[in-house]
Structure 1
Amino acid sequence: MLKDLVGPPPLPATDGRWQVTVVDPRSRDADLVHAWMNAPHVATAWDQAWPLDRWTAELTRQLGDEHSRPCLAHLGGEPVAYLEIYRVGRDRLAPLYPYRPDDLGVHIAIGAPGNTGRGLGRDLLRAVAEGLLATEPACTRVVAEPDVRNTASIRAFTAAGYRRAGEVAMPHKTAALMVFPRTEGDVPRW
């Protein structure tokens, strides 16, 4: 059973440029996530432009289980992005490719529109993937599954060192399976 094999997803080690913190739904964090998720550039990709009370409940739910850890990424002390770091084996992605028990996944949303198109996403994605691999030696790959139509996201993942391993059909989208491998042999083939 996966729960017996691995714990909740870890926070990535960071090099000091980026800081990643767990969201506190009782603080301003929930307001910030809610505002970002309702911004047009995020709402289109995430389809979670929910009211504040629903976001507060969602963040609280995530913190109560071992599937996903909601986080904020800070640059220079300022929050820049919302992240969800998750255990693939506990996710709906697991049956769609030959996952390994220690695979970790990441979702990312750059919050303010002024922070998009500047390479911050690329830098953050690389820092998070490298930090997760450093924190968890048993993990051999970090994955993501952006919608195949989200070309800007796929470009950012590619520029960050992720490889496009294929496509997976999810209930709400066809996704590009993006993989940041520890070694080339860790890119899934199927």
Structure 2
Amino acid sequence: MPPSETPLTPERILEATEDVLRRYGPAKATVVDVARALGVSHGTVYRHFRTKAALREAVAVRWLAPEQGDLCVIAEDSGAAEERLRRWLGSLFEAKRRRAGEDPELFATFLALARENSDAVARHIAVLIGQLEVIVAAGIADGEFAADDAAATARALWHATARFHDPAHAHEWHAPETAADFDEVCALLLRGLRP
């Protein structure tokens, strides 16, 4: 069936947008390119997403959702908070590193959105810091961590590990020493949290 005969849904538009972003990159991809890939007018795309920025943010939200879900499972898991925190940080680092390598065009879009301080990225970061807070609060409650304020500690952990998840550092993630650096930072942070 030609693209114009298939019902146009936001999901189809997002899939086409991802393909266009991969083909042209975030700087050159346009809504007209997305519409052309779908066999519709660009006005039709704008009926679902009012602006190019809204469309790009929706792509970022869709792209980040699986990562958030996987990390949520770790955050809400039972077991030692220290082990969960180490696993959560390691999973975040590995997910970012994998996505930067496997899907560089969409990762570049995420980086562009991060630089624009988009709402999608801010919400994503808030969710992830909230997951860290869940782990830290459990560690405090169980006597594993000596922190006073779970929220402040979660924010500090986020900032302390930025080199391993902030897209601005993506060019460093595959360097031979980065994995060892990550292990050293995690060990230091965990020692600092213990009573």
* Length-normalised TM-score, structure 1: 0.30
Q: Which has the larger radius of gyration?
A: 2
* Length-normalised TM-score, structure 2: 0.29
Bigger share in helix: 2
